[in-house]
Structure 1
Amino acid sequence: MTPAAVTPAAGDTTADVVVIGAGAVGSACAYFAARHGLRVHVVERGQIVSGTSSACEGNMLNSDKDAGPELELAKYSHALYGTDLAEHNALWEYERKGGIAVAATEAGAAGLAELTTRQRASGVEAIDLPADRLRDFEPHISPDLCSGAYYPEDAQVQPMLLAAHLLRLARGLGAVVQTGAEVIGFLRDGDRVTGVRTRIGEVSADAVINAAGTWSGSIAKLAGVKLPILPRRGFVLVTEPLPLTIRHKVYDADYVANVLSSDGGLQTSTVVEGTDSGTVLIGSSRERVGFDRTVSLPVMAEIAAKAVALFPMLASVKVMRSYLGFRPYSADHQPVIGPDPRAPGLWHASGHEGAGIGLSAGTGKLLAQSILGQPTDLDLTPFRPERFSV
């Protein structure tokens, strides 16, 4: 399979659903819509998987979410990899590797214990670990930590393979995918959205899904609606290949707080995980700097120092490369999923920030159900787009 195998521009056309964006979320929307028997047309401004999904770690986590709607969406989405998507999991290297959150202070340990209590009440498997048990799970971890929590349900996929294969599967169900098709406007019938106008042609459709990631706010603006989705920059370091050293995704308890923070300034917290190839991925940072792609050595140095504090053996390991990406940040930290009554015919699937890979499958299936007028497996009310109208 080659991601470049996409349908070339063929002029104006008609579909049941147009999906704007060919990242993980847009690809999941396309796949589930096609699987539900809808005629699907995907338009992507660049190449497929060329945005956030190409610059992330592929995490599918329950552990970094507090009790509430996003956690319910995460559990639902994860479950689809054991049902609807199970036969395809090898394609995107699905691995239920488990995650470990750790606390370096007594205050952090108390906060982590409170979090796991709420998560267990919401049906998440979270196992509290005293300090003397952490090395049973991660032999190279710092002995100076106070406590931890083990989440056996946390998983990982290769995000670019996930999106590319979902698009391929959607194409097998009749979907059309066009790259280099930047959306420059909407087709309208009065207030109703009836399709998209791109730089290479128009596509008419009863439903248009805005899955444009960090550009979703700009797409919404073309339809005359407010959607405060902003880019939040993050860096990841990649080490030289090592023997199996780090077995799980491991992060400090500050990571959860940083994910939920609305602060636009720089925040860093430790996230470390090994890969099958032997490299170790090290993050994470968050800052709202627009689409500034300047490489910040001080930020990467801070990330590296915190990783060494968690795994001292990394001090002698070389960093092979680094990359950066932009997460689609939502002002209230909840994704935006569902129909937009301010522009009937327009649907949104965005604002997942760093959880888009893990939430993509659930988002795609729920939108397909909603577009078809079926009862949705989860209530979409907490994610409604019009909440930003006030």
Structure 2
Amino acid sequence: MNRHYHTVVIGGGCLGAACAFSVQRGLGNKSGKVAIIEKKVLGAGLSSRHSAIVRSANASPMAARMAKMATQYWKNLKPLWGVNIPYEQSGAIWIAENAADSRAESWTALEHMLQQEGIDFAMVSHRDVLELSRQALKTVPDEIYYYEPDVLQLDSPQILNAMQTAAKKTRVDVLEHCDVIDFEHAGQGITALHTSQGKIFAEHVINAAGAWSADLFAGIGLNIPVALEPVYAANFLVSVHDIPEGMPIIADYVNQAYFRRWRGSILHMHQPRSRNAKDIARSFSRTAMNPEGANVIYDALSFNVTQQQLDNYLGKVINRFPKIGKPVYAGGYHSFFDITPDLKFILGPDTEFTNLYHCLGAGQALKYAPIFGEIIADLITEGSVISNAIDIEEFSIGRFSNNDLSRYWQANALTQNGL
């Protein structure tokens, strides 16, 4: 039996869910229904492996502004989703090299820009870092440090539970184990989706499919430049004597690692996205040559790690946390960032199909999910809740219209601080 929806969201990760909940709330109970189409189960993709760090620091002023708003939404999620989730406001210490070149200047510029946006992000002394970390961190003269107090730690399982509960509360239909096979379109609009569960008509379509987007929309002539960049995450058992409870998240751009203490006695770590142009180009090449496409995310081999990878991470832990000695390995896995050539989001209306909207997080989906949902809902329901404060033009898919991706790799900024 054919089904009709006001809005169909493709992708049941945190971004797709946030969009669905916000659009359904904007429509009310009498103006139409919203559905999420998910090929596995709600939250089964990269959202289930997210490190769940919510921070505002970003090299783009507009992205930083949105992140600040998203942080406040995460603290009080119930008006948006009908549920709240627990969080810890641990803050974050940012570590960079005190280089006598433009890199140090770019951190100073970042500090100034974020403070103009009302984000508490300021340089701190070595003594401050030792006090904040309760003497757990090693500091050296060649490093500079910044502190961002309004950084949250969430927990992925709790987020997934909130998504499932919110879907029921908001009365969003969730069609799980449902593959999108093809689209019907007339003129400049998508009229229907052919799925493994039948034909579905939609007035509006939201693409929140992440790394599946490129293959999904290629059949109707859309070029959506998203690739997968692998990231290794590892967990180590720690003692409160080694790393105290309540220690801030450590964003270590000297060792290229994020550290956070979570679930009581685990030091969790992963690497940040690479901003190297060659690495980004390799990720796009690897994605193009991968016959599984984004389904590689579900490969059981993703949960295997090599001794070389483990030794590399052990070295990073020992270098930054000298009191630990030899950390006790407690498991690791490969995950992925879904990235764009310039590492910025793809957010807003499509340039070809007037009823298609993109919501792709470029490796930063979870932290922005609530605000992205509100932005997309405003576009679809013609609301104005946040339109006066946010300009999403720099994140438009139209910036890739000439298909010359190499210029984004070459321009990929060492000035962007890796944020």
TM-score w.r.t. the length of structure 1 is 0.86
Tell me which moved more, 202-211 or 238-247.
238-247
Q: Per the alignment, do residues 160 and 28 of structure 1 end up closer, same or farther by CA in structure 2, a change over 3 Å counting?
A: farther
| 1:202 shift after superposition | 1.9
Q: Residue 54 of structure 2 aligns with which residue? A: 60
2:148 pairs with 1:140: no
* Distance of 2:75 and 2:258 partners within structure 1: 26
Residue-by-residue CA offset, 1:108-130 (whole Å, 9 max, x unaligned):
66553332122212221012111
Distance 2:59 2:80 in 1: 30
Q: Is 1:50 matched with 2:44?
A: yes
Is 1:171 aligned to residue 168 of structure 2? yes
Tell me the residue number matched to 1:382.
394
Which residue type is aligned with residue 120 of structure 2? E
Match of 1:77 in 2: 70
Deviation at 1:335, TM superposition (A): 0.7
Partner-residue secondary structure (3-state), 2:5: strand
Alpha-carbon shift at residue 66 of structure 1 (Å): 1.4
Deviations 1:88-125 (A, max 9, x none): 79853222211110235444665533321222122210
Q: CA deviation at 1:159?
A: 2.7
Instruction: Please list the CA deviations of residues 246-270 of structure 1 after superposition, one character each: whole Å capped at 9, or x if unmatched.
Output: 611102235xxxxxxxxxxxxx712
| Distance in 1, Cα, partners of 2:399 & 2:50 | 28
Matched, 1:308 2:318: yes
Is the CA contact 1:28–1:163 (under 8 Å) kept in the aligned structure 2? no
1:250 aligns with 2:250: yes
Pick the aligned partner of 1:99 from 81, 92, 103.
92
> Which amino acid in 1 is paired with 2:5?
A
Q: How do 1:311-330 residues align onto structure 2 when only pairs under 5 Å count?
A: 311-330=321-340
Unaligned stretches of 5+ residues in structure 2:
274-278, 288-293, 297-301, 403-419
After superposition, what is the alpha-carbon deviation per residue over 1:288-332, rounded to whole angstroms, capped at 9, x for unaligned?
243664744433432331222111233422111002212110112
In 2, the alpha carbon distance for the partners of 1:277 and 1:90 equals 24
Distance 2:112 2:209 in 1: 35
The aligned amino acid for 1:275 is W
Aligned mates of 2:82, 2:131 — CA distance in 1: 29
Q: Does structure 2 retain, via aligned residues, the 8 Å contact 1:24–1:356?
A: yes
1:337 match: 347
Contact 2:7 2:205 in 1 (8 A): yes
Among 265, 275, 286, which residue is 2:262 paired with?
275
Tell me the SS of whatever aligns to 1:354.
coil
2-structure distance, mates of 1:189, 1:327: 34
8 Å CA contact retained: 1:125, 1:153: yes
Give the partner amino acid of 2:88.
E
Equivalents in 1 of 2:272, 2:64: separation in Å? 22
Q: Does the CA contact (< 8 Å) of 1:96 and 1:152 recur in 2?
A: yes
Aligned to 1:360: 369
Q: Deviations over 1:323-377 (max 9, x none)?
A: 2212110112221111113022211101x23311111111111101110122343
Structure 2 counterpart SS, 1:79: helix
- Residues 67 and 119, structure 1, Cα contact 8 Å, conserved in 2: no
How many Å separate the matches in 2 of 1:282 and 1:271?
A: 5
Q: Which residue in the other structure is 2:22 paired with?
A: 32
Question: Which residue number corresponds to residue 119 of structure 1?
Answer: 114
Distance change in 2, residues 1:121/1:164 (3 Å): same
Confirm or deny: 8 A CA contact 2:11 2:207 kept in the other structure: yes
| Partners of 1:30 and 1:167 within 8 A in 2 | no
Paired residue secondary structure (2:118)? coil
Counterpart residue type for residue 207 of structure 2: N
2:11 counterpart letter in structure 1: G
Separation of aligned partners in 1, 2:315 and 2:333 = 17
- 2:208, 2:395 → 1: CA distance? 14
Q: Which amino acid letter does the alignment assign opposite residue 328 of structure 2?
A: K
Length, aligned pairs only: 365
Contact 1:269 1:303 in 2 (8 A): no
**What runs of 5+ residues in structure 1 fail to find an aligned partner?**
1-10, 255-267
